[in-house]
Amino acid sequence: MRPTNIDAEKVRKVEVEDSERSRVFARGAGEPAVRSSGKSVFFIGPEGSGRREVGRILAGRLHVDFVEVQDAASLYAALDEGRVVACVERELLLDEELARALNSRGVVFYTMAGVQAVAEARGLVVDEECKQRIFSEIDEWEPVFMRILHFLLPGGMSAEATAANAADKLYLVR
């Protein structure tokens, strides 16, 4: 676990009556406290970027459900369900109305990943042709991800470290 500027020993659980205010969740053994705005969290990014694993880890830290959003109906169900952490299929982001709903009603993280990492995660033979295909795919989709995101999660870190990075960024959300 990477160090943070939070002294977890000094964080205490606080009951908050106003549901619109941020909350600090008490930590478990060896787990840092996580403050959350109460909004749902959505992970977008290329297939193989680790967004599902990071989402599951963060959902566990926030003590909320993790869902995979594969169509418009499941996206609206996730938005209406209350607070969830979700992994969103990229094709849904092409629908402007769905993209606006994600951006306005949740916190959107773009999980970036390098060509090599994506290829390996997909179980592909990493040769120059494969790298070029993935690079072209990322190049095509990145503008879509960039117009929707609230925060970038850089690649090259473990899923645990990326989830900790996302948790740190949730401190900025009101």
Q: Is residue 19 part of a domain?
A: no
Task: Give the model confidence (pLDDT) of 66-83 as tens digits.
Answer: 999 999 999 888 888 878
Is 78 within the bounds of a domain? yes
Specify the CATH number for the domain of residue 107.
Answer: 3.40.50.300
**pLDDT value of residue 19:** 52
The answer to whether residue 59 sits within a structural domain is yes
Does residue 48 lie in a domain region? yes
Average pLDDT over residues 90-98: 93
pLDDT of 6 > 80? The answer is no
pLDDT value for 78: 85
**Domain around 156:** 36-170
**Residue 138 counted as domain residue:** yes
pLDDT at 20: 52
Domain count, the chain: 1
The dihedrals phi and psi of 4, each to the nearest 5 degrees, come to -125, 175
Q: What is the mean pLDDT of residues 129-147?
A: 93
18 domain-assigned: no
Dist. CA 166–CA 161, nearest whole Å:
9
Two structure tokens written together for 116: 């090599």
pTM for this one?
A: 0.78
Categorize the per-residue pLDDT at 49 as very low, low, confident or very high, splitting at 50, 70 and 90.
very high
Residue 9 resides in a domain:
no
Instruction: Say if 15 falls within a structural domain.
Output: no
Q: Is the pLDDT of residue 168 over 70?
A: yes
